[in-house]
Structure 1
Amino acid sequence: MPKSSETNRTLRTSGIVVGVVAIALVAFGLSVRAYSSKNLDEWTAEQAITTVAIVTPAKSDANRLLELPGRFEAFATAPIYARVPGYLKSWQVDIGATVNAGQVLGEIETPDLDQQLLQARADMESAKANLGLSESTLKRMQSLLASKVISEQEYENRASDFEAKQAQYQSTKANFERLQVNKRFARITAPFDGIVTERNTDIGALINIGSSASPPLFTISDASKLRLYVNVPQSYSSIIKNGDEANITVPEHQGKTFKATVAASSGAIDVGTSTARLQLTLDNSSGELLPGSYARVSFAVQSAEEALSIPASALIFNAAGLQVATVGKDSKVTLKPISITRDLGKSLEINGLLAQDKVIDNPPDGISNGEAVSIKAAKKEQG
């Protein structure tokens, strides 16, 4: 009996030990699972935060080179139209020819105008003869009036007739002289020294009195001096003044620089492009530069304050306009509106940021204000 009691005691002890061990194993398993679940939640939360790379705006020197495209125009250009109708009798110059003021470019045959001149001359001679007859008649009537052979009424009537004949003669004479002046326009001449840049007619061509609806017979351009037009961004429009010099380069003269001077400004900002139009002038007596050609214009400008530049890849364009995404000390995003002052290709000079701002490079789509982000790395943008 004592032996059976001892056996039961041992079994109870073993059962208790097994139960404790089982409970410990369950508790350990639950704690390990809870710890793993916490780590998983933390890892998932970390993965949900967007990781971004940031750059800081680069400072550029206040003294900088502003390069802009421009277009040459001849200092004076005259499209030449016909003033009289007829047929082209001859032309003396072709495109590319150098001409002097008053030089004949071509001649128009004017059969209709010639007939009008003959008729106008005949009308003038007839009016002159009638005027002479009326004048001699008036002189005779003056002596008759003195001897009271005729009445004063008859004399006044004759005097009025003389005045009418005189006016008629002046009218026919003026018409004849007008046609003579028109006849001179049968010879087409150059208005100033220059180069023939267009010839749009040939011998025998029907010539009508010209207008802008039809091409000119000739076009003369004075390219000894050129105008150069360039559109300057609004932020630089008050910096560049009349009299400032610019360096000009053209593709056809690699390695050569020309000098131009700012002559005038439009004095207004174009609402479509936010630029001001400048006119520069330069000497072209050598003839190296061609009207209508493209040029690269470089201004040495000095800004009142340092400019900041960011990579073009940091730019955000949406319904709110141009923006960049910055990261604050709390690792949250703030969208800031900016404006571009100069496009440098891979980088942009901008307004609207501070030098210490942390700008997100290549911001993900849909990034918004207040969004938490993780900073991957910070790098200094090289200007």
Structure 2
Amino acid sequence: MALIYGEAKDMSDQTSGTHSGHLAEGPPHHVVTVDPIEPVDRPRAMRRARWVVIVVAVLLALGAVRTLVNRYYNAHALERQMASQSTRYVNTIVPRPAAAGRELTLPGTLQGFVESPIYARTNGYVLRWFKDIGAHVEKGEVLALLDTPEVDQELNQAQAARSQAAARRALAQTSLTRWQNLRQKDAVSQQELDERTSAANQAQADLAAAEANVRRLQELQGFRRIVAPFAGVVTKRNVDVGTLVNAGNAGTNRELFTLAQTDPLRIYLYVPQAYSQQVKAGQDVAVTLAELPGQVFHGAVARMSSAIDPTTRTMQVDVSLPNKEGRLLPGAYVQVQITGKAADDPPAAFMVPTNTLLFRKEGPRIAVAENGRVNLRPVTIGRDYGRTVEILSGLKAGDALILNPADSIEQGEAVTVTPASAPAAPAPRAS
């Protein structure tokens, strides 16, 4: 913009002339002058500014569109990449068909089919013993012999009393015969005859009592021979020569011997209520011992109580086990396996590992790999064996069950199946 000096110079001259008498003459003053302002074309400036704004807006819009397009393509590319990376790699297993019958294994103890402690039936001292522990005896074989001096003396006394009673009976019978003859001659009264008849009857009764006492003491004397009541094995001997024994098992009396019949043996089992329906009389059982690995002994269910104990919720079962060779010993701990088909056994059950199960709010599910996708099958769980469970419904043979499925796995999710593993391990036996 130009500087205007004209007016400023005139004004300076006037001021200088007015004050010339008073002011000393000094150096000349330099005055800046400005050129007059040229008028501005406002409509043209507005149009120019508008075009600038439009150009900037177009450029910004083009940049935004380009950014959105790039983001769109980048998002789709990322989705494709994530989809390819999110495909699960899973291990699968094939379910194993459950056995046709249920297996139940219970602990038990071998017992003699007949086990009996043998006590003395009379008082005395052990004179001799003939059988020791482990001896096989037959029915009626003598195990020990007692000395019974008191019983012997009582028997002698009873025999003498019997003789006295016999003599009195004979006298009473003779008197009765005589009085009967006198009555026929009307020499005695009927009352006197009746008295003699009663005396004879009483004498006869006294003789019968004396004879019964003699027989009793003879039986007691016979009990000095301790005999085996049945064929079996002597499992205990608690007496020796000179031991004083008393009759019966009262107080501190101990059994002289214990005898067990070892063929067959007996096992008492207590079957839980949940398994009681699968046990039937005559059903086969398999018996194993830890000390005889690999050997199985076969028996049968002989009888069962057919009632549940309300205290233990179990049913007592009696198993009979042949033992002709005598290899099985009474008192041994055994495992008894009962196999049989129960009435409620499912027609097509499967055994699967527990790590194939998913528990959702809708119920239990098993993830099955089908055509590269996840199919969450609803299943019905039967019995739980710990590491394996019984599946009653929801599976079919040949299904590829996903092992260790993630909790986040969803229906229809893409999966890549690794080579199939071996079939599910057999279920452990219930105990």
TM-superposed deviation, 1:309: 1.2
Question: Matched residues in 1 for 2:184 and 2:270: separation?
Answer: 83
2:247 is equivalent to residue 187 of structure 1: no
DSSP 3-state at the match of 2:176: helix
What pairs up with 1:305-344 in 2 under 5 angstroms?
A: 305-313=347-355, 324-326=364-366, 336=380, 338-339=382-383, 343=385
Q: What is the identity, as a one-letter code, of the residue corresponding to 1:77? A: E
Find 1:68's aligned residue among 105, 112, 136. Answer: 105
Match in the other structure for 2:326: 287
DSSP 3-state at the match of 2:186: coil
Q: What is the identity, as a one-letter code, of the residue corresponding to 1:144? A: L
Structure 1 361/206 Cα, relative in aligned 2: closer, same or farther at 3 Å? farther
More deviation in 263-272 or 166-175?
Answer: 263-272
What pairs up with 1:1-383 in 2 under 5 angstroms?
A: 1-2=39-40, 14=52, 57-60=95-98, 62=100, 66=103, 68-69=105-106, 71-110=109-148, 112-114=150-152, 116-202=154-240, 203-210=242-249, 216-227=255-266, 233-234=275-276, 236-237=278-279, 242=282, 248-258=287-297, 260-262=298-300, 264-266=302-304, 268=306, 270=308, 277=317, 279-284=319-324, 286-296=325-335, 305-313=347-355, 324-326=364-366, 336=380, 338-339=382-383, 343=385, 346-349=387-390, 351=392, 354-355=395-396, 382-383=424-425
Q: Share of identical aligned residues, percent?
A: 28
1 or 2, which has the higher strand percentage?
Answer: 1
Q: Deviations over 1:146-192 (max 9, x none)?
A: 33332221111011111011112211221221122122223211112
More deviation in 177-186 or 271-280?
Answer: 271-280
- Assess if the C-alpha contact under 8 Å between 1:237 and 1:275 holds in 2: no
Question: Matched residues in 2 for 1:294 and 1:144: separation?
Answer: 84
TM-superposed deviation, 1:213: 9.2
More deviation in 78-87 or 148-157?
Answer: 78-87
Question: Matched residues in 1 for 2:400 and 2:270: separation?
Answer: 33
DSSP 3-state at the match of 1:106: strand
Structure 1 160/267 Cα, relative in aligned 2: closer, same or farther at 3 Å? closer
Return the index of the structure with the highest Cα Rg.
2
DSSP 3-state at the match of 2:261: strand
TM-superposed deviation, 1:217: 2.4
Q: Deviations over 1:194-242 (max 9, x none)?
A: 211122344434534126996532111122433455677446436xx73
DSSP 3-state at the match of 1:195: strand
DSSP 3-state at the match of 1:338: strand
Q: Deviations over 1:296-323 (max 9, x none)?
A: 5567767883442122456899xxxxx9
DSSP 3-state at the match of 2:300: strand
More deviation in 110-119 or 95-104?
Answer: 110-119
Q: Deviations over 1:53-77 (max 9, x none)?
A: 9977432464x79573554332332
Structure 1 326/278 Cα, relative in aligned 2: closer, same or farther at 3 Å? farther
- Assess if the C-alpha contact under 8 Å between 1:339 and 1:351 holds in 2: no
Count matched residues: 353
Question: Matched residues in 2 for 1:14 and 1:109: separation?
Answer: 143
Q: Deviations over 1:38-89 (max 9, x none)?
A: x9xxx9xxxxxxxx99977432464x79573554332332221222244544
Structure 1 157/237 Cα, relative in aligned 2: closer, same or farther at 3 Å? same
Q: TM-score of the superposition, structure 2-length normalised?
A: 0.61
Structure 1 182/276 Cα, relative in aligned 2: closer, same or farther at 3 Å? closer
Unaligned runs of 5+ in 2: 1-38, 83-89, 426-431
- Assess if the C-alpha contact under 8 Å between 1:71 and 1:294 holds in 2: yes
- Superposed CA RMSD: 5.1
Q: Deviations over 1:310-349 (max 9, x none)?
A: 22456899xxxxx954579997796745346xx4x63344
Structure 1 207/13 Cα, relative in aligned 2: closer, same or farther at 3 Å? farther
Match in the other structure for 2:30: none
Structure 1 167/290 Cα, relative in aligned 2: closer, same or farther at 3 Å? same
Question: Matched residues in 1 for 2:159 and 2:260: separation?
Answer: 39
Question: Matched residues in 1 for 2:149 and 2:357: separation?
Answer: 71
Question: Matched residues in 1 for 2:250 and 2:401: separation?
Answer: 59
DSSP 3-state at the match of 1:223: strand
- Assess if the C-alpha contact under 8 Å between 1:251 and 1:295 holds in 2: yes
- Assess if the C-alpha contact under 8 Å between 2:379 and 2:394 holds in 1: no
The answer to which structure, 1 or 2, has the higher relative contact order (CA under 8 A, 6+ apart) is 1
Question: Matched residues in 2 for 1:166 and 1:192: separation?
Answer: 40
Question: Matched residues in 1 for 2:313 and 2:400: separation?
Answer: 30
Structure 1 269/353 Cα, relative in aligned 2: closer, same or farther at 3 Å? farther
DSSP 3-state at the match of 2:122: coil
Q: TM-score of the superposition, structure 1-length normalised?
A: 0.67
